[in-house]
Amino acid sequence: MFDIHPDSTFIHTFSDRLEKSENLCTWEQFKLAYRASQFQSISDFDGLLALEHLPHVTFMPHQVEAAKTAIHEMNGRAILADEVGLGKTLEAGLILKEYMIRGMAKKILILTPASLVNQWVQELDQKFHIQAASPRKKHAAWKDWDITVTSIDMAKRENHRETILSIPYDLIIIDEAHKLKNHQTRNYQFVQSLKKTYCLLLTATPIQNKLSDLFNLVSILKPGYLGHLTDFKKKYRGSQNTEHIHSLVGRVMIRNRRQDTGLNHSSRVVAHERLNFTDEEQQWYEKLQTFKENSHAFTWLTLAKEFCSSREACFMSLKEIAKKTTEENKAIITEMIKQLEQLPHHAKAMRMVELIKEKPEKFIVFTEYRATQFYLQWFLQQHGISSVPFSGKFNKSKRDWMKQLFKNQAQVMIATEAGAEGINLQFCHNMINYDLPWNPMRLEQRIGRIHRFGQERDVHIYNFAINNTIEEHIMSMLYEKIDVFRHAVGDLDHILEKIPGGSFENQVQSILEEAESAGEVNIKMKNLVSYVEHTVNERKESS
Amino acid sequence: MNPTLYRDFAQDFFTLHQCKIIEESSHHFKVKLTSDIDEEIMNRPFYWHYMKKMNRSGDPATLSFHLSQSENHEGIYLHAGTPKLHTLYRTAMKKGKMTRLYEATDVPNHHEALTPWFAINVLLHYRGKQTRNEHLALGLNLINGSIIPSFTESIWSESFKATVTDYTFPMTPIINLRSAYKRIEGYIESYVSRKTHEWAQQSIEQLKEEVTLLKSFYESGDMEEEQYQKEYDQLKERYEPRIIMEVINGGLFYLSGQTNAKLFKQLG
């Protein structure tokens, strides 16, 4: 029924040592070695030994359950697809630790987006007592390192590729695996050619657009499990058969939703702050309308959006436009710039300082514009409030450094949108959305930086918008109406992406560009919202 | 597991290797390492390399261990997963791997013959769809070939020395070590075969099921042969049941007549 693999080296070394009478131990040492080995006994096939090894980490029941299922029922090949912020990384770490304790995994490769490499290395060390290496520019000892964390891009480089493909890994973990949804990409093919015994795919969005995304993910774990792609597509083109596919996929995928996990002890307090421009500011905003009337709708939209953020952001664009436009227009723009410079400090900036002064706690402020980021930093400094900037464009070490500064010294972090992925700031409990993105899911990602697994306090979210501007529409439509649906269905992003005639964001943009009056904007926005509402309801009924 | 077991082990490890326990209470202890042990467990090779090169003695570290978790004290929290504890396990197993020992009897019984035994402690790793392991501590009498389970435990409280005492003499083994080792392997095989193996049965079924699936996919032409072979090998690695024998340590033990008799009584 099975083979017994003998220990082939012991007896030779033993005979040798006896003959030479060297390296022989005392009775006490012999007994101590025996005792040490008893600490490593594993008496049961089932269960998680790792829990006893990690008393300093509190795992949630759904995480423990996920690890058990992945190991004992799915036999080590699984998609971990919990919603954002439920701790997929902890689940993966727990599984990894268990495999190491049980001696089933020694050689391990973890592939993550480059921006998350350091975070993985740190978490493995601090939470799991696992020492992982990650390659630097020149130095990469793939064969010597037992546990390696790196990006797919690094791994598939010409000088590394062959070495990595030749190593039989015991366990491969792929973070943000939804990026592998297309089987024709080189990344997908690279992952498929890796030698692996166990394999975990981590993603919060296992289906981004099509069911075939899921097919391709499952094929990495179990080729043939869902049949061929062509048959699969034929079979599931209509949606009648989805029940069958869900039951099949359920045997390789674990998906916990926030509402199932009881992870609500930290709640969100969202405040929509509607602010007013000063009269001077409002007048200037009205003047901008002339751009729209002169059939520069797109320019107008950009400028209006920027002006709602800061004079500085708008100033940069105006200067650019002045360079390219006709003499006549140039005069108008120069005049506008002059007036712009006379305006008082921005209404939002004043409110921000007020809020921060009221509450001596840490704040993260999100803006869409770099110019605004600079302005706010300067403005806070004028009020004696320390702040650090943050952007996804910073390199790894700068990002880590800024995060560290924010944690230990500065009261405020001012981040641009690009910074929303991949930093965790659970030590911060307040967020100001200084500018609102036009896609509610992007806001969700921002909030996920602080309201995530491990957050023990309530988080306060302040959304800023200025009355009588485009921001008012965005606020009332997106954040007050659509947000209500968010709780009804888990994957609103999915719906928003699939609106006919372009994504939700594009729709909003064209409404704002094309509508001739505030009334028209309102009507069109309402239509859009009711379309979303309709889809949501349809979805609810069918499921 | 009872936390004092970890403490006992760690303290025994340090005292055995001449490290001094300089502070001790019911919930913590502090130990001053020797240079040798520091080099062995603290993972700072460059420091020691430098010290030796400069002909200096170096300053071995002091470690403090705590039995409970708290932010208030510096030091190492001792529990099942403490990395330092695992370093101690590894070091202990490395240092206590092989031996040859003679029983030290306190009764000066002239010319007592000591019987040679081959002691061997192994871990059997059951590996298939799931895993577990099992300890075996076997002793083989090198004169008559009988094998005793729990050998190491049976002689646990006797005392042994590296050299033979004046009053005793060791008998020359009749069975040589290599064939003794073969016999041990044979013993393990028959020991294992007497048990039921649901785990192996389940693993085989799972393997069959997944191989069938993979084959039908391959035969439908959606898969290159190379890819198929790789997936097939991976399935075997993942499910094929096997038992891996790992020797923890082993030794040649010369036992007094009295201890010998005790062992046989146990055997019944």
The tokens 């000088």 sit on which residue? A159
CATH architecture of A50-261: 3-Layer(aba) Sandwich (3.40)
**Taking CB atoms and an 8 Å cutoff, what residues of chain B touch A18?**
98, 100, 177, 252
Residues 6 or more apart whose CB falls under 8 angstroms from that of B168 comprise: B102, B103, B105, B109, B111, B112, B113, B114, B254, B256
- Contacts of residue A393, defined as CB under 8 A and 6 or more positions apart, other chains included, come to A418
Distance CA B9, CA A217 (A): 47
Q: Return the SS3 of A76.
A: coil
Sheet holding A147-150, edge to edge: A147-150, A108-111, A169-174, A196-202, A77-80, A253-254
Q: Do β-strands B28-32 and B20-24 pair in parallel, antiparallel, or remain unpaired?
A: antiparallel
Q: Label residue B268 by pLDDT band (50, 70, 90).
A: low
- Cβ-in-10-Å burial (0-12, 13-18, 19+) of A93 comes to buried
When CB atoms are compared, the residue of B80, B99, B192 closest to A4 is B192
Largest CA distance in chain A: 102
Asked whether A450 and A426 are in contact (CB, 8 A), the reply is yes
> Considering chain A, what is the average pLDDT of its residues?
85
Ramachandran region, residue A384 (left: φ > 0; alpha: ψ -120 to 50; beta: rest): left
Question: What pLDDT, on the 0 to 100 scale, is given for residue A248?
Answer: 77
Rg (CA), chain B: 25
Closest-CA distance, A261 to chain B, in angstroms, reads: 27
Residues 6+ apart with CB under 8 A from A153: A114
A101-115, B98-112, B237-251, range with the lowest pLDDT: B98-112
- Residue A242 or A361, more confident: A361
- The C-alpha atoms of residue A376 and residue A369 are separated, in whole angstroms, by 11
The answer to whether the Cβ–Cβ distance between A39 and B135 falls below 8 Å is: no
Distance between CA atoms of A217 and A207, rounded to whole angstroms?
Answer: 9
Instruction: Scan for tokens 């998350």, then name that residue.
Output: A116
Taking each helix axis from N to C end, the angle separating A504-514 and A518-542, rounded to the nearest 10 degrees, works out to 160
CA separation (Å) from B126 to A210, A445, B135, B256? 42, 45, 11, 36
Name the token pair of B27: 């919930």
State the pLDDT at residue A492.
63
Tell me, what's the ipTM? Answer: 0.95
Token look-up 């957050």 returns A455
Q: Are strands B112-127 and B242-255 parallel, antiparallel or unpaired?
A: antiparallel
CB-CB: which of B1, B77, B206 is closest to A75? B206
Mean pLDDT across B222-251? 93
Sign for the pseudo-dihedral over CA of A425, A429, A432, A436:
positive
- Among the partner-chain residues A15, A36, A222, the one whose CB lies closest to the CB of B93 is A36
Q: Among B133, B156, B252, whose Cβ lies nearest the Cβ of A18?
A: B252
| Among the partner residues B93, B206, B242, nearest to A2 by beta-carbon distance | B242
B164 in reach of chain A (CB within 8 A): no
The values of phi and psi at residue A302, to 5°, are -60, -50
| B260: closest CA of chain A, how far (Å) | 18
Return the pLDDT at A237.
61
For residue A126, give how far its alpha carbon lies from the nearest alpha carbon of chain B (Å).
Answer: 11
Can you tell me which residue has the tokens 């520019």? Answer: A137
A-chain CB neighbours of B208 within 8 Å are none
* B 73-92 residues with CB < 8 A to A: 77, 79-83, 88-90, 92
CB contact under 8 A, B123 and A30: no
What pLDDT is attached to residue A147?
Answer: 96
Task: Say whether B242 and A3 touch across the interface (CB within 8 A).
Answer: yes
Model confidence at A539, pLDDT cuts 50, 70, 90, reads low
Burial of A414 (0-12, 13-18, 19+ CB in 10 A): buried
Contact A27 B92 (CB under 8 A): no
pLDDT for A458 equals 85
Whether the CB-CB separation of A369 and A381 falls below 8 Å is answered with no
> In whole numbers, what is the pLDDT of chain B averaged over residues?
92
Using CA of residue B221, residue B223, residue B227, residue B230, what is the dihedral sign? Answer: negative
pLDDT digit string, tens, across residues A385-424 = 999 999 878 887 888 888 889 999 999 999 986 555 667 7
Predicted confidence (pLDDT) per residue in B79-93, tens digit = 999 999 999 999 999
CA angle, residues A291, A292, A295, in degrees to nearest 5: 95
Q: How many CA atoms lie within 13 A of A162 on its CB side?
A: 2
Q: Please name the residue of chain B whose CA is at the shortest distance from the CA of residue A193.
A: B227
Interface test with chain B among A3, A5, A27, by most B beta carbons within 10 Å: A27
Q: Hey, is the C-beta of B67 within 8 angstroms of any chain A C-beta?
A: no
pLDDT digits (tens, 9 = 90+) for A184-209: 899 999 999 999 999 999 998 777 65
Task: Name the pLDDT band for A169 (thresholds 50, 70, 90).
Answer: very high
Mean pLDDT of A378-389: 94
Residue of B nearest to A220 (CA): B231
Please, are residues A317 and A302 in contact by the beta-carbon 8 Å criterion?
A: yes
- Between positions 21 and 50 of B, the ones with CB within 8 A of A are none
Smallest CA-to-CA distance from A267 within A442, A460, A99 is with A460
For residues A39-47, give the mean pLDDT.
91
Q: Do the first three CATH levels of A50-261 and A268-274+344-469 match, i.e. the same topology?
A: yes
Q: Distance (Å) from the C-alpha of residue A145 to the closest C-alpha of chain B?
A: 16
A36·B92 Cβ contact <8 A: yes
Cβ-contact A105, A170 below 8 angstroms: yes
Asked if residue A526 lies in contact with residue A534, where contact means CB atoms within 8 angstroms, the answer is no
For residue A89, which amino acid is it? T
The residue that leads in pLDDT, A1 or A206, is A1
| Interatomic CA distance for residues A200 and A93, integer angstroms | 11
What is residue A424's three-state secondary structure? coil
Specify the pLDDT at position A356.
93
How far is B148 from A153, CA to CA, in rounded Å? 57
Report pLDDT for A106: 95
- Are B239 and B128 spatial neighbours (Cβ–Cβ below 8 Å)? yes
Token digits of residue B84: 């330092």
pLDDT exceeds cutoff 60 at A295: no
pLDDT band at A489 (very low <50, low <70, confident <90, very high): very low
Give the gap in angstroms from C-alpha A9 to the nearest C-alpha of chain B. 9
Judge whether residue A45 has pLDDT over 50: yes
Residue A159's pLDDT is: 87
The answer to whether residue A472 scores a pLDDT higher than 90 is no
Q: How confident is residue A484, by pLDDT bands cut at 50, 70 and 90?
A: low
CATH fold of A268-274+344-469 reads Rossmann fold (3.40.50)
Coil, strand or helix at A366: strand
User: Which residue is closest to B219 within chain A, CA to CA?
Assistant: A224
In the predicted structure, residue A541 carries a pLDDT above the cut 70: no
pLDDT recorded at residue A158:
87
The CA–CA distances, whole Å, from A385 to A173, A273, A300, A382, A398 equal 42, 21, 34, 8, 21
pLDDT higher than 70, residue A495: no
Q: How distant is the Cα of B119 from the closest Cα of chain A, in angstroms?
A: 11
Alpha-carbon span A306 to A470, nearest angstrom: 11
CB pairs under 8 A between A and B: 210
Closest-CA residue to A216 (of A524, B139, A208) = A208
B123 CB neighbours in chain A (<8 A) are 37, 40-41
Residue-wise pLDDT tens digits, B38-48: 999 998 999 99
C-beta separation of A226 from A245 below 8 A: yes
% of chain A residues with pLDDT over 90: 44
Rounded to 5 degrees, what angle do the CA atoms A310, A285, A434 make?
30
State the Rg of chain A over Cα: 28
What digits encode the pLDDT tens for the residues B106-160?
776 667 899 999 999 999 999 999 999 999 999 999 999 999 999 999 999 999 9
Domain spans of chain A, in order of start: 50-261, 268-274+344-469
What whole-number distance in Å separates Cα of residue A404 and Cα of residue B100? 56
- pLDDT confidence of A316, banded at 50, 70, 90? confident
Helices A370-382 & A347-358 angle (0-180, nearest 10): 50
Pair A160, A127: CB distance under 8 Å: no
Q: What is the mean pLDDT of residues A32-51?
A: 93
Q: A5 vs B245: CB contact, 8 Å cut-off?
A: yes
